[in-house]
């Protein structure tokens, strides 16, 4: 499962952990700790995700429920302040828009691209 949050990106899988745990992975230093402050995060350059932590499933469920409860924005991409994270999310938005038939209104796609450009030039 990919979790795209306003201030972090996480990948959560059932791999290299016990049945009551999940492996939470991140590409950027500090992203896991934003959601799981007490996590024991390891760094491994030999894996596709640089940062990893094994977290109890119940703790993951609670954290995800809290994330849902804290949603207060009308547009997700606009809630992302970090420029590089925003750019990555716009790329995902564009890729996923390509799967939609009919595709999204061209004005929305243009707005997403221009928002990416304006955030990168701030």
Residue corresponding to tokens 């016990």? 18
Cα distances (Å, whole numbers) of residue 121 to 28, 112, 113, 117, 118: 22, 14, 13, 6, 5
- pTM reported for the whole predicted model: 0.84
* pLDDT tens digits for range 83-116: 999 999 999 999 999 899 888 875 655 555 555 5
Domain total for the chain?
2
Task: Assess whether 43 and 82 both reside in one domain.
Answer: no
Taking residues 19-34, what's their average pLDDT?
Answer: 98
* pLDDT tens digits for range 35-44: 999 999 999 9
Task: Assess whether 62 and 87 both reside in one domain.
Answer: no
Bin 12: left if φ > 0, else alpha if -120 < ψ < 50, else beta: beta
The DSSP H or E segment spanning 118 is helix 106-120
Domain range for 12 is 2-69
Q: Under a CB-based contact definition with an 8 Å cutoff, are residues 41 and 53 in contact?
A: yes
Task: Assess whether 38 and 88 both reside in one domain.
Answer: no
Task: Assess whether 104 and 62 both reside in one domain.
Answer: no
- pLDDT given at position 71: 97
């Amino acid at each position: 499962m990919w979790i795209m949050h306003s201030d972090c990106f996480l990948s959560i899988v059932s791999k290299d952990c016990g049945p009551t745990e999940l492996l939470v992975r991140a590409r950027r230093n500090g992203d896991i700790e934003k959601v799981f402050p007490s996590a024991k995060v390891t760094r491994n350059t030999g894996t596709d995700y640089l940062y990893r932590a094994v977290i109890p499933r119940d703790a993951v469920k609670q954290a995800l429920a809290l994330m849902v409860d804290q949603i207060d924005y009308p547009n997700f991409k606009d809630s992302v302040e970090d420029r590089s994270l925003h750019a990555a999310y716009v790329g995902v938005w564009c890729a996923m828009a390509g799967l939609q038939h009919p595709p999204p209104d061209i004005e929305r796609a243009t707005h997403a691209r221009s928002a990416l450009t304006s955030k990168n030039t701030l």
